[in-house]
Structure 1
Amino acid sequence: MASKIQTYIRSMDVISETTGAIAAWMFFTTGIIVFFEVFMRYVLNSPTIWVDEMSRIFQVWAAYLAIGYVLKHKAHIIIDVTFRDPHTFNRRLVDSFAMVVIILFCLITVKYGLDIWWKSTKAGHTTDSYLAVPKTFVQSAIWVGFGVMALQALAEIFKIWTWDPDDLPKQTLVH
């Protein structure tokens, strides 16, 4: 059982690292294509029709793909006035409770995100732009991102109870 949990933890860590890297490259690409649009618009006086929508889509996907990575690295806002020592039972309990709340929020978001995504898919909705990108492509970022975050939160609960805090990477203990 312990090896299956360790395999799950390592798999989720790899998935979160991968989605984080993809998100970083998407943010980088957004910067490049926006720079391209500025050059085209103000230097060549020939604006594009695709940059605005593509940069928005990339930003949406990047933001949702990054949330599992942020959770893995504890890079979100954490207030730990009371429970600073990661070795205490109370700290583990509070951290586990926080992860359960995150999982519940993520599951609700995934459920409603999937409902909206499915309705848009069935109806064939597209964005209100010249490109008319299917909304299912944009809306799927919500349930994919929050699904990864929920699975990463579960891995974090396993880490809290099965790993020695001294064995965890230091960035996961910095608050």
Structure 2
Amino acid sequence: MHALKNGLDAVLKWASVVLFALLVVIVVWQVFTRQVIESPATWTEEAARYTFVWLGFFAAALVFSERGHIAVDFLVRQFPEAVQRVIAVLVQLAIIAFAAITLVYGGWRASQGAWNQNLTALSGTVGQMYLVMPITGVLIIIYALYHVVAQLTRSESAVEDVEPDVI
């Protein structure tokens, strides 16, 4: 399972880098055509918006993989390690439920509901853009299962050790 996680991490890192670079190019072209040529490209706003959405979802899944998401664990740290692990597993199960219901099921329904709705300035449909939701939901479920297994096998800490930021 560790190899699967590392492979998904690598794919998401590269996808995020490529999407970010594409977003920069699109926005620079948008500004150039508007300010220099004085004839703005009509497709750039929509392309930038959808690129940003896909980038945001993929980057969120990657952050989830690295356990970099926000966690308020002050109370959990007060418990013994065994209780911390139980809570960590319960949190991952709640995340699996959320990802399955909201991202996979809800995202799939949203995608199918908008599948025939054409984009205004690009070829393709709004439903195709919404496919990022179920894709990300499946990725988060895989990562959450990885973290559940890691808690049960004690291969990662129940509570992330973080150093306070020094300003």
Q: Shorter-chain TM-score: what band?
A: 0.7 to 0.9
Q: Which runs of 4+ in 1 moved over 3 A?
A: 83-87, 163-166
User: Deviation at 1:83?
Assistant: 3.2
Q: Do the aligned residues in 2 keep the contact of 1:68 with 1:149 (CA within 8 Å)?
A: yes
> Bigger relative contact order, structure 1 or 2, given CA contacts below 8 A and separation 6+?
1
TM-score (norm 2): 0.84
CA distance, structure 1, for counterparts of residue 60 and residue 76 of structure 2 = 24
Instruction: Flag the 1:29–1:87 CA change in 2: closer, same or farther, 3 A.
Output: farther
**Residue identity in the other structure for 2:24:** G
AA paired with 2:9?
S
Instruction: Please state how far the C-alpha of 1:35 moved relative to its aligned partner.
Output: 1.5
Secondary structure class of the residue paired with 1:131: coil
Q: How many residues align?
A: 161
Residue 54 (structure 2) pairs with residue 61 (structure 1): yes
2:76 corresponds, among 80, 83, 90, to 83
Paired with 1:144 and 1:58, the residues of 2 have a C-alpha distance of 15
Residue 108 of structure 1: how far off its partner (Å): 0.2
Structure with greater proportional helix content:
1
Counterpart mapping for 1:60-139 below 5 A: 60-84=53-77, 88-109=81-102, 110-121=104-115, 124-127=116-119, 129-139=120-130
| 1:29-76 deviation per Cα after TM superposition (whole angstroms, max 9, x unaligned) | 212210221112112212111111111111111111122211111211
8 Å Cα contact 2:92-2:148 kept in structure 1: yes
CA RMSD of aligned residues (A): 2.4
TM-superposition CA deviations, 1:66-96 (whole Å, max 9, x none)? 2221111121111111333898111111111
TM-score for both structures, normalised by structure 1:
0.80
Q: 1:169 aligns to what? A: none
Quote the sequence identity (%).
Answer: 21
Does the C-alpha gap of structure 1 residues 85 and 12 become closer, same or farther in structure 2, counting only changes over 3 Å? farther
CA deviation after TM superposition for structure 1 residue 149, in Å: 0.7
Q: Would the alpha carbon gap of residues 40 and 105 (structure 1) be closer, same or farther in structure 2, given more than 3 Å must change?
A: same
Gap runs ≥5 in structure 2: none
Q: Which runs of 5+ in 1 are unaligned?
A: 1-7, 167-171
